[in-house]
Structure 1
Amino acid sequence: MATEGPTIAAAERLLTVTELAGELGVTPRAIRFYEDKGLIDPARVGATRVYTPRERARMLLILRGKRLGFSLAEIKEFLDLYAVDPRHLEQKRALLAGVRKRVGELEDMRVSLERTLDELRAIAVQVEGEIAGEG
């Protein structure tokens, strides 16, 4: 009889740092860096670090947070709030505040980039005109 979705064994499978790195498209060194910063806490089997589905999920959140421009301190705050609030309301509030702050920062950057692009385009037009006038 066929089953749908991953089996319990697959969902609970422990990963080595190399396997996790391969799945996530990062280096083992990056994973160890996040461990050193206290963002993940792999279990140990002897001297080997093993990563649970929980640690894999945390790594996905860390990588997403970094991709969206959040600092490691902000990401750690979000992850820590998740652990202490079973309803995740504080985490959601903190995330919403962080997202709004980041959107504001990106909007400011966009305005600055548009000004810079406008100035560079004006310089290009001016220099093209000077070149054409001397040609």
Structure 2
Amino acid sequence: MPNRTDTATWTIADLADEFGVTHRTIRHYEELGLISPERRGTTRVFHKRDRTRLALILRGKRIGFPLEEIRTIIDMYDDQPGESGQLRYLLDQISARRVELEDRRRDIDQTLAELATLEHRCRADLNSLAGRRLTTPGPPELD
């Protein structure tokens, strides 16, 4: 197990296991430039910054941000306007995402209500048909 100090490093397998993602996912984020591990020959060596960025990427994905939005947010930490600008921008993005999710929730609630209404009508029609079958004379029985 690697020493978890400021000089700690992780392998791709360490991070994949810790975050429950595939090696391919981590390599994809590297290809996009979201993380940039040190290369020692063919081995990737991840430092604290890479691990933190990976955690932020995965958190952003869980919340539903697209990768380009995640890139903007985490890159702001290193660039101007720095952490305060990053936080203001993130708050704006959170607000926009919340509105989007609330709209989707309303759509889902409306669809569920429509399905309940349709289900109720189908059950009523089915019960009505079943009642008619009981009162409709069948074919004459042969002796």
TM-score after normalising by structure 1: 0.90
Distance in 2 separating the partners of 1:94 and 1:38: 20
Contact 2:10 2:46 in 1 (8 A): yes
What is the identity, as a one-letter code, of the residue corresponding to 1:68?
A: I
Q: Which residue of 2 aligns with 1:10?
A: 4
Is 1:92–2:87 an aligned residue pair?
yes
Q: CA deviation at 1:45?
A: 1.6
Question: What SS does the corresponding residue of 1:106 show, helix, strand or coil?
Answer: helix
Contact map agreement 2:16 2:22 (CA 8 A) in 1: yes
Q: Which runs of 5+ in 1 are unaligned?
A: 1-8
Letter in 2 for 1:98: Q
Bigger mean CA deviation after superposition, 77-86 or 15-24: 77-86
- Residue 52 of structure 1: aligned partner: 47
Query: Partner letter of residue 27 of structure 2?
Result: R
The alignment covers a number of residue pairs equal to 128
Q: By how many angstroms is 1:86 displaced?
A: 7.3
- The 3-state SS of whatever aligns with 1:10 is coil
Larger radius of gyration: 2
What are structure 2's unaligned runs of at least 5 residues? 131-143
Structure 1 vs Structure 2 CA RMSD? 1.5
Identity over aligned pairs, percent: 42
Taking the aligned partners of 1:111 and 1:86, their CA distance within structure 2 comes to: 36
Point out 4+ residue stretches in structure 1 off by more than 4 angstroms.
none
The CA deviation at 1:85 is 3.8
1:96 deviates by 0.5
Report the Cα distance in structure 2 between the residues aligned to 1:95 and 1:39, rounded to whole angstroms: 17
Greater mean alpha carbon deviation, residues 27-36 or residues 42-51: 42-51
